[in-house]
Structure 1
Amino acid sequence: MTDPLIIGAMVRTLGAYPSGWRQPGAHRDPANDADILRHIAKEGEDAGLDYLFFGDWLATGPDLEFRDPYLLARIDPVSAVLFLAGVTSRIGLIATVNTTYADPYTTARSLASLDVLTRGRAGINLVTGAEPRAAGNHGREVHAANETRYDRAEEFVTALRRLWDSWSEDAWIADAERGVLIDPAGLRRTDLRGAQVQVTGPLNVARPPQGQIPIVHAGTSPRSRTLAATEADLALIAAPNLADAIATRAILRDIAADAGRSPDALKVIAPVLPVVADTDDDARRIVQRLLALVPLAEGHQSARTAFPTNRTVAALADAFEVAADDGLRAAAFDEPVTAARAARLGGGGAALIERLSRIAGVGVGSGDPLTWRHLVAAHAVPAAFVVGDAGTIADHFETWRDEGAADGFNVLSAFQPAQFEAFTRIAAPELRRRGLLRSASEDAGTTLRDRLRVTSYVDA
């Protein structure tokens, strides 16, 4: 029997699509994140998801309002998982830590504490950072170069593993009659003196129940893929289509094998942004509303600070290399796209139009009318939507598993809480029926490592 997929939720309280927060009833105030986090945790745990995943971004600015609103103001991920530790009992909790700026001892201590408090449900996502503004927030002149960041990340992983292994499994004796609390031989120093990381240890937290806490990593550069394939338990990929995902997973597994690691020890996880409803048509209408609510360069928006330059019809025409202008660039956003003008957008435009027909039910001369607003919004704010009812969503998951594209998925929700509820209440039962998702009551072991079906890392 085939194992279920690994399915977790990538938590973004303001929604994963930039206009999601504008939906009626959507969560839109970060000051009230505690309430929505409790709700997400309950929904995810009741649905049988394997983990909740919290990303991070170490800076903010007005440009994020239009590009990624969820990054403007968000709870620190380690604080978020510690908060949810007390209101959950089964689901894994994965926090992101930036190795460029974090301290390895503090990180090892925080995650070991989480693992102890949750009886083995902690996970850590290690990133090296892509936001240059983070440097100033940490007292540095510039963001470190890619090679330097990955040199530090590799040493950071070594430090974490040694610190989590400070205590032997049998070091804590607690023999009250003899007055012997520990076996000193079971408490080890770390003694790591690398070029980037120095730490002595041992760790002043009890041994994590998982021994080694599961490590997650994502990235596309050669160094990033090597780190994921050789050190991580979960490798997060960003693949725009099935073929790319199959190729990326194969590359990562090959790197793992070349390093002497079993490829099956590495689980490859793809992102998915399902828009779920009772019917495919209802789901497409939700996508239509999301596109309609993307701020475009009209009225006061064009004068806003840091407003994106690509949200005009003219920018769309330039992107598709439309030559002579017969008025196309001056088209109104809500004007229907004619067949003649659609043809002028070339192959790239044709692909975008076909995609919009599939995910939003809009078209030229068929379905609901395709407008320039649809085209500009979908091009300026792309998203890997999977749109439909429970069967459509399950088909996507099943196909990617059967074709060897992914071992699991990070589920994003366009807005909270309605779309996450739609996934857990509409799609999840069908995933369980097909054996793609275990039930909340199914015995999956007591730790996150058990749920992920990954063996414990052994430091050679």
Structure 2
Amino acid sequence: MTEPLIIGAMVRTLGAYPSGWRQPGAHRDPAEDAAVLRRIAAEGEAAGLDYLFFGDWLATGPDLEFRDPYLLARIDPVSAVLYLAGLTSRIGLIATVNTTYADPYATARQLASLDVLTGGRAGVNLVTGAEPRAAGNHGRDAHADNETRYDRAEEFVTALRRLWDSWDDGAWIADPERGVLIDPQRLRGAGLQGTHVRVEGPLNVARPPQGSIPLVHAGTSPRSRALAATEADLALIAAPDLGSAVRTRDELRAIAAEAGREPDAVRVIAPVLPVVAETDADARGIVERLLALVPLAEGHQRAREAFPANRTIEALADALGLAPDDPARAADFDEPVAVDAVARLGGQGAALVERVARIAGVGVGTRQPLTWRHLVAAHAVPAAFVVGDAAAIADHFETWRDEGAADGFNVLSAYQPAQFEAFTRLAAPELRRRGLLGRDGDTLRDRLRITSRVDA
């Protein structure tokens, strides 16, 4: 029998789509994140998801309001998982740590503590950072270059594993008759004197129940792919389509094999943004509203600081190669797209029209007209939408598994809590019925089927 997929939720309390917070009833106040986090955790655990995943971003600015609103103000990921540790009992809790700025000893201690407190449900996503503003927030003149960041990240991984191995199994004796609490021969330091990371140890937290806590990594550079393939237990990929995902998964597995690692040890996880409803038509209606609510360059928006330059019809026309005098450049956002205009959009434009029609239920010359607003929003703010009822969502998951594109998915929700609850209450039961959801295991490592390894 085929093993169920690894399915977790990537938690973004303000929603994973830039206009999601504008939906009726959507969570939109980060000061009230505690309440929505409790609700998400309860839903995810009841649905049988394998983990909750919390990303991070070490800076903020007005530009994020339009690009990624969820990054403007968010709970620190380690704080979030520690908050949920006592409110959950089975689901894994994965926090992101930026190795460029974090301290390895403090990180090892926080995560070992989480693992002890949850009985083995901790995981960590290690990133090197892509936000240049983070440097100034950490007392540095500039963000380190890619090679330096990954050199440090590799040493950071070694430091974590050595610190988690400070206590051997059986080191804690606690014999009151003899007055012997520990076996000092089973306690050791890390002894790492690297170029970028130095740590002595031992770690002053008991041995994590999982031993070595599961590691997650994502990225697209060669160094990032190498770190994911050789060190990570979960490799997060960003693939726009099935074919790209298959190629990326094959590449990661090949890198792992070349490094002497078992290719199956690398679990490849793809992002997915399911828009779920009772019917396909209802789900497409939700996407249509999401597209319609994306802020475009009109009225007061055009004057806002750091407003994206690509949210105009002119920008779309340039991207699709329309002639400078094409009449489409003078169209209004809410003007229906005419048949003759589609004919001038070329192959890329035709693909965009087809995609919007498929996910939003609008079309040229139909009762639900396709407008320039739909096209500009879909082009400027692309997303890995999978749209439909429970069966449609399950079909997507099943196809990607069967084609060798992914070992699991990180589920994003366009807005909270309604769309996450639509996934857990509608799609999750269908996934379980098909055997795609429902891994067992007392620890996150058990659920992910991570094999033991010997680390330096």
Structure 2 matches for 1:156-175, cutoff 5 A?
Answer: 156-175=156-175
**After alignment, is 51-60 or 310-319 more displaced?**
310-319
CA drift of 1:366 comes to 3.3
Q: Which runs of 5+ in 1 are unaligned?
A: none
Matched AA of 1:348? Q
Which residue pairs with 1:78 in the alignment? Answer: 78
Matched AA of 1:318? D
Distance in 1 between residues matched to 2:203 and 2:121, nearest whole Å: 19
Which residue pairs with 1:299 in the alignment? Answer: 299
Which residue pairs with 1:341 in the alignment? Answer: 341
Structure 2 matches for 1:310-459, cutoff 5 A?
Answer: 310-366=310-366, 368-438=368-438, 444-459=440-455
Matched AA of 2:84? L
Which residue pairs with 2:214 in the alignment? Answer: 214
Give RMSD over aligned pairs.
0.7
Distance in 2 between residues matched to 1:383 and 1:224, nearest whole Å: 22
> 1:106-154, CA deviations, whole angstroms, 9 ceiling, x for partnerless residues?
0000000000000000000000000000000000000000000000000
1:113 aligns with 2:78: no
1:137 aligns with 2:133: no
Distance in 2 between residues matched to 1:279 and 1:144, nearest whole Å: 48
Matched AA of 2:187? L
Which residue pairs with 1:289 in the alignment? Answer: 289
> 1:267-312, CA deviations, whole angstroms, 9 ceiling, x for partnerless residues?
0000000000000000000000000100011111111111111111
1:28 aligns with 2:28: yes
Matched AA of 1:430? E
Distance in 2 between residues matched to 1:18 and 1:325, nearest whole Å: 32
8 Å contact 1:361–1:367 — kept in the other structure?
A: no
Distance in 2 between residues matched to 1:310 and 1:106, nearest whole Å: 41
Give TM-score, length-normalised by structure 1.
0.98
Q: Sequence identity, in percent? A: 82
Matched AA of 2:415? F
Distance in 1 between residues matched to 2:159 and 2:152, nearest whole Å: 10
Distance in 2 between residues matched to 1:96 and 1:451, nearest whole Å: 19
**After alignment, is 302-311 or 419-428 more displaced?**
302-311
CA drift of 1:367 comes to 5.3
Which residue pairs with 1:178 in the alignment? Answer: 178
Which residue pairs with 1:308 in the alignment? Answer: 308
Matched AA of 1:19? S
CA drift of 1:321 comes to 1.1
The count of corresponding residues between Structure 1 and Structure 2 is 456
Distance in 1 between residues matched to 2:325 and 2:111, nearest whole Å: 58
Distance in 1 between residues matched to 2:139 and 2:347, nearest whole Å: 47
Distance in 2 between residues matched to 1:121 and 1:209, nearest whole Å: 9
Structure 1 SS opposite 2:116: helix
Runs of 4+ in 1 over 2 A off after TM superposition: none
Which residue pairs with 2:263 in the alignment? Answer: 263
CA drift of 1:326 comes to 3.6
Distance in 2 between residues matched to 1:235 and 1:411, nearest whole Å: 15
Distance in 2 between residues matched to 1:311 and 1:160, nearest whole Å: 44
Distance in 2 between residues matched to 1:345 and 1:325, nearest whole Å: 14
> 1:153-211, CA deviations, whole angstroms, 9 ceiling, x for partnerless residues?
00000000000000001100000111000000000011100000000000000000000
CA drift of 1:13 comes to 0.1
Which residue pairs with 1:149 in the alignment? Answer: 149
Matched AA of 1:240? P
Distance in 1 between residues matched to 2:127 and 2:374, nearest whole Å: 34
Q: Which runs of 5+ in 2 are unaligned?
A: none
